Amino acid sequence: MFDREAYNKRVEWYQEARFGMFIHWGLYAIPARGEWVRSVEEIPEEEYLPFFDEFDPVDYDPEKWARAAKEAGMKYAVLTAKHHDGFCLFDSELTDFKATNTKAGRDLIAEYLDAFRAEGIKVGIYYSIIDWHHPDYPHYGDRIHPLRNCEAEKEAEAGRDFDRYLEYMHGQVKELCTRYGKIDVMWFDFSYDDMTGEKWHATELVNMIRTYQPDVIIDNRLEVSGEGFGSLATDNPSVYSGDFVSPEQIIPPQGLKDESGRNLVWEACITMNDNWGYCAKDKNFKPASMIIKKLVECVSKNGNMLLNVGPDAKGNIPEESLKILEEIGKWMKKNGNSIYGCKGSALSKPENGRITQKGNKVYYHIMENSIGGVPLYGINRKQVEKIRLLSDGSELQIVDFWTVNNYPDVVFVNVSSTPYLPDETDTVVEITLKEE
């Protein structure tokens, strides 16, 4: 039976945090053509293994990563402990295909956890339930396995034992849950076709996780792919429904609700460019201004944003990503109160921006300037206690002039004496409403 009270308590910090860092990193940083390179190019195992021998992230410094995340205003992070290629950044006893057996020679997940916790950032672990390296994972005929079209694998399928793979997979998840202290987020990826739910022995898996990590927040991809909501959107979520919906590379047109009209907890995972893992030639980076606006959009729809970085083979976050994080951080330092702990508002989206709200604080995100004062649609003048520019706390007076008298139901404020907004990306006005 789903315990909604326990669930609401479990996700409370997560809905306060609103903004996190996703980190995709592994052997695929060496070919540098994205994290799906082995599947997309149908690379055989023997051609991929040389990357294992070469892996030597001499610049890996998770403290730098953690500082960059903190400076950007991120409150939690999720790192790939194992991606689809099966390579493990942690010291698993169940495989030799791990970072401790490379030139790195150490447990990279342990170092990540220590560094991010030291900065006060909640820690998450990504674990792929898919595995292209494991001999018992389906090869031939599987929709996405690198050897799906290899005729030589057709005969070998009969000798594969999926239960043996599940024992391995469950065992690794247990290692992650029992050897690294408190884990705040467990991010599974992903179900597809008939590989969903109990195909993964998902009830058993989640019950085991909850035994060792009762407060951990789990995504919904044991049950569905990134394109589904799953039973979390119903009144009776399954044991393995997860705690949040995980739309990928898209922000839902409206806030997500379950079948009874309750707000769903959700997180949009977004790349800075067009790839999750490092791709040397992908320079299609989104500007910081766009990402800030999209973060605001997520919060205005009761959602989170998990923004990805893909470190290179040496362990460096790309310079382009670091510059974007720095710009986001400058905005967050001044305007973070309009993000952390905020939700959507009952007020309709204004034509000149978006609205977030926290209690009696309404945050008007003005993304387009006006002539003759900026209209704060939906704000009742009689309910206003004070209006301030959030970035510096300066008073904003309500415009009382003949030009606005024809619109008595709309509050107008002047946020600038020039045609330009104080912050061209997003100028935030904090409206404190009188307590009823």
For 38-74, the pLDDT digits (tens) are 999 999 999 999 999 999 999 999 999 999 999 999 9
The answer to whether residue 387 sits within a structural domain is yes
For 236-274, the pLDDT digits (tens) are 999 999 999 999 999 999 999 999 999 999 999 999 999
Residue of 434, 350, 432 whose CA lies nearest to 389: 432
Domain count along the chain:
2
The answer to whether residue 344 sits within a structural domain is no
Beta-strand relationship, 384-389 and 427-433: antiparallel
Q: Could you tell me if 359 and 333 lie in one domain?
A: no
- For 329, list phi and psi in degrees, rounded to 5: -60, -40
- The residue out of 275, 302, 337 marking a domain boundary is 337
Q: Could you tell me if 403 and 319 lie in one domain?
A: no
Q: Could you tell me if 293 and 150 lie in one domain?
A: yes
For 179-190, the pLDDT digits (tens) are 999 999 999 999
pLDDT at position 436: 76
Average pLDDT over residues 211-229: 94
Instruction: Give, to the nearest 10 degrees, the angle between helix 319-335 and helix 62-71.
Output: 40
- Distance between first and last Cα of the chain: 38
Average pLDDT over residues 343-357: 96
The answer to whether residue 345 sits within a structural domain is no
CA dist 411 and 291 (Å) reads 29
- The residue out of 337, 367, 395 marking a domain boundary is 337
Q: Residue 390 belongs to a domain with what CATH number?
A: 2.60.40.1180
Q: Could you tell me if 358 and 301 lie in one domain?
A: no
For 353-402, the pLDDT digits (tens) are 999 999 999 999 999 999 989 999 999 999 999 999 999 999 999 999 99
For 96-149, the pLDDT digits (tens) are 999 999 999 999 999 999 999 999 999 999 999 999 999 999 999 999 999 999
Per-residue DSSP letter, 257: B
Q: Could you tell me if 315 and 384 lie in one domain?
A: no
pTM tops 0.95, yes or no: yes
Q: Could you tell me if 294 and 370 lie in one domain?
A: no
Burial class, 398, CB count within 10 angstroms (exposed 0-12 / middle 13-18 / buried 19+):
middle
Q: Could you tell me if 33 and 111 lie in one domain?
A: yes
- The residue out of 337, 371, 390 marking a domain boundary is 337
The answer to whether residue 89 sits within a structural domain is yes
The answer to whether residue 139 sits within a structural domain is yes
Average pLDDT over residues 325-338: 98
The answer to whether residue 342 sits within a structural domain is no
Q: Which domain holds residue 171?
A: 4-337
pLDDT at position 168: 99
Burial class, 51, CB count within 10 angstroms (exposed 0-12 / middle 13-18 / buried 19+):
buried
Q: Could you tell me if 333 and 367 lie in one domain?
A: no
CB within 8 A of 284, min separation 6: which ones?
A: 273, 274
pLDDT band at 226 (very low <50, low <70, confident <90, very high): confident
pLDDT at position 228: 83
Mind giving me the DSSP string for 313-362? TTSPPPHHHHHHHHHHHHHHHHHGGGTTT-B--SSPPPTTEEEEEETTEE
